Structure 1
Amino acid sequence: MGEYVTVNNGQNLYIYRTGQNNKGTIIAAHGLTGNHKQMHFFQQAFSEDYQFISYDVRGRGLSDRQDTNTSINKHADDLVELIETLNIKEPILMGYSMGAYIAAIAASRLSHVKGLILLDGAGEADDTTRDLVIPSLGRLEKTYASAEDYVKETKHLYENLNIHWDTRLEDIARYEIKQVGSSFTHRSDYDLTKQDFESFYTFDIHGVTSSITCNTLLMIATGAMKDNKSLFTEESYHHTRNNIRHLQTEITPVNHYELVFNKQPDVLKHIQQFLTNGGASS
């Protein structure tokens, strides 16, 4: 069920809530240019046992626009506010890509987080990360004559990344855009989204990761995206892996985008085992 939540700092976040709180609540934050629909396979997999809340990070989907001084730290403020507004006592935080940075920062600030799941994020970004991400932001600057034109371009982009295009992906693409007059544009502002991305490079990796006390699962996606390069490497997570006290790390050979846009049974299995076998600390 989709709904708006006005959090304690006055911002409006659009959340999508499913499942029952039998074993706890999972809150999932998506990637840089994504929205709550990006977390579909994870929400589908765990809603039988958990209340699962995915949400549009500000500046994406139907949530409010982000602040002019936007950053992963500001988005973490929103996540903390969301947890407090919904009065969730022991949340399990899940984050993908940018969402992993957001979830990690939030977990470092809160003592009552029950578990943390990092899906290929919260490592050290480098020049390769920038070279792979910045070109993908181009569609945020464009104006399209029709929704179909945007869908067609997005389909081409995703299929080049080994994504299996289907009606679900088309629904995500249509959710990303809005009509302005007779044309269509992306809901996200290019400059502010780029500013969010640049804040990856000021991530306080030592301060944040050393302050995380809950059990944590890190999934690293090593598959190549372009020029035989992955968005992050195992080395990108050197400090993350050394500093988080209770950490389980798993490697998947799929690429960064396949991790969420194609269903990954092995990844879901690792998460289920993490949750079931005491991965989420009590």
Structure 2
Amino acid sequence: MEQYITVKKGRTFLVYDTPGELGTIIAVHGLTGNHKQFYHYQKAFTGKYRFISYDVRGRGNSDQTSKDTSIYTHADDLIELIEELGIKRPILMGYSMGAYISAIVASRLSDVEALILLDGAGEADDMTRQLVLPSLNRLKKVFPSVQEYVHEVKGLYTNLRVNWNETIEEIVKYDMKKIDSGWRHKSESSFIRQDFETFYTFKQEETCSKIKATTLLFIATGKIGDKAPLFQGAGYTKTRESIQKIETKYTDVNHYELVFNKQPAIVQQIEEFLVKQGVK
């Protein structure tokens, strides 16, 4: 069910909530994503787990972000959203930027049931910047039609080994809004860039050492194009050493395939992990 939820501070979020009986998963999407980024995971877990995905502020149909936007303000938002929804013992699942946000929240809330990090909350380096920043240029452009934007993103995603289909096209179209001169992305590129730069302020040892929840970390080793993985494996060393209870899985898919393509093996690994935690 799609709904708008307004938290105590007056901020409104687009939330997509599907039912299940074995606990509540709250999924936090990536830097330029939206709640639809979790389509495959939400479909896989619905009926077993209550699955909540939402648009982070400044994305999709949630409120615009504030001038001090960062992974930390987004973490504040998530805590307020959890409180507003009355969720006890949430299972936090974060992808990319969402993994940083989820880790911060897990370090602040004592009742997090489990934490699932999908290739994020590691140490971003110069290669991360080289791979991410050029991709943000599309957010600045005005397109004559939605289809023109879809065409550009299709070329980008296909090169990243994303299996293009109607579902991916719907995710991409959702990001667009009509303006006087054409169509443009709903997100402001300067704020997206600002959020990205706060990846580099994430103190792994300080934050991760406060996480009590048992954690499942997926590291995507696939290259972005012909370059390198978005996050280097060594960049997760402090994360892995600082979280008290952590299980690490490696996958040879790349960062984008991790969410945009179906990943039945990863879904199975998450289910097995949650069963081991006795999530009910």
1:241 is displaced (CA, Å) by 0.3
Match in the other structure for 1:135: 134
Counterpart position of 1:148: 147
Q: Is the 8 A contact 2:159 2:225 kept in 1?
A: no
Alpha-carbon shift at residue 279 of structure 1 (Å): 6.6
Letter in 2 for 1:81: E
Q: TM-score when scaled to structure 2?
A: 0.98
Structure 2 Cα separation of the partners of residues 126 and 279 of structure 1: 36
Residue in structure 2 matched with residue 19 of structure 1 by the alignment: 19
Alignment map for 1:111-122 (pairs within 5 Å)? 111-122=110-121
Report if aligned partners of 1:26, 1:51 keep a CA contact under 8 Å in 2. Answer: yes
Q: Secondary structure at the match of 1:32?
A: coil
Residues 56-86 of structure 1 deviation map (CA, whole Å, 9 limit, x = unaligned): 0000000001110100000000000000111
Show the counterpart of 2:55: 56
Amino acid across the alignment from 1:15: V
TM-score w.r.t. the length of structure 1 is 0.97
What secondary structure sits across from 2:57 in the alignment? coil
**What is the Cα deviation at residue 35 of structure 1?**
0.1
Q: Give me the whole-angstrom Cα distance separating, in 1, the residues matched to 2:120 and 2:87.
A: 24
The runs of at least 4 aligned residues of structure 1 exceeding 6 Å deviation read none
Matched, 1:86 2:85: yes
Unmatched segments (≥5 aa) in structure 1: none
Contact 1:79 1:106 in 2 (8 A): yes
Shift of 1:182: 4.4
- 1:220 aligns with 219
Query: Match of 2:41, as an amino acid?
Result: F
CA contact (8 A) 1:132 1:226 kept: no
Task: Read off the aligned partner of 1:259 and give its amino acid letter.
Answer: L
Change (3 A) 1:243 1:59: same
Residue matched to 2:271: 272
Q: 2:50 matched to 1:31?
A: no
Distance apart, 1:205 and its partner CA: 1.2
**1:10 counterpart letter in structure 2:** G
- Are 2:3 and 1:3 aligned? yes
User: What letter corresponds to residue 56 of structure 2 in structure 1?
Assistant: V
CA distance in 2, matches of 1:80, 1:240: 21
* Letter of the structure 1 residue corresponding to residue 176 of structure 2: I
Q: Which residue of 2 aligns with 1:109?
A: 108
Conserved? CA contact 2:222–2:255, under 8 Å: yes
Secondary structure, counterpart of 1:143 in structure 2:
coil
Amino acid at match of 1:16: Y
1:228 deviates by 3.1
Letter aligned with residue 121 of structure 2: A
Q: In structure 2, the residue corresponding to 1:138 is in which secondary structure? A: helix
Whole-angstrom distance in 2 between the partners of 1:148 and 1:89: 42
In 2: Cα distance, 1:234 partner to 1:19 partner: 35
- 8 Å contact 1:273–1:279 — kept in the other structure? no
Return 260-269 or 125-134, whichever deviates more.
Answer: 260-269
Unaligned 5+ segments in structure 2 are none
Distance (whole Å) between structure 2 residues aligned to residue 229 and residue 78 of structure 1: 32
| Amino acid aligned to 1:36 | H
CA RMSD of aligned residues (A): 1.0
| Contact 1:115–1:279 (Cα < 8 Å) also in 2 | no
What pairs with 1:239-250 in structure 2 (closer than 5 Å)?
239-250=238-249
Range with greater deviation from structure 2 (224-233 or 62-71): 224-233
Moved more, 269-278 or 64-73: 269-278
Matches within 5 A, 1:177-192: 177-192=176-191
C-alpha distance in structure 2 between counterparts of 1:237 and 1:37, whole Å: 27
Q: Any idea what the Cα deviations from partners look like across 1:175-230, whole Å, max 9, x if unmatched?
A: 00100024000000000000000000001211110000011000000000033301
Deviations 1:150-176 (A, max 9, x none): 000010010000001000011011100
The question of whether the paired residues in 1 share the 8 Å contact of 2:142 and 2:181 is answered with no
Partners of 2:85 and 2:259 in 1: CA distance: 26
Secondary structure of the structure 2 residue equivalent to 1:144:
coil
Give the corresponding residue for 1:255. 254
Q: Secondary structure at the match of 2:217?
A: strand
- Given that 1:215 and 1:279 are in contact with CA atoms closer than 8 Å, whether structure 2 keeps it comes out as no
Q: Aligned residue for 1:98?
A: 97
Which letter does structure 1 place at the counterpart of 2:16? Y
Q: Provide the rounded CA distance (Å) in 1 between the counterparts of 2:42 and 2:102.
A: 16
Distance in 1 between residues matched to 2:151 and 2:227, nearest whole Å: 25
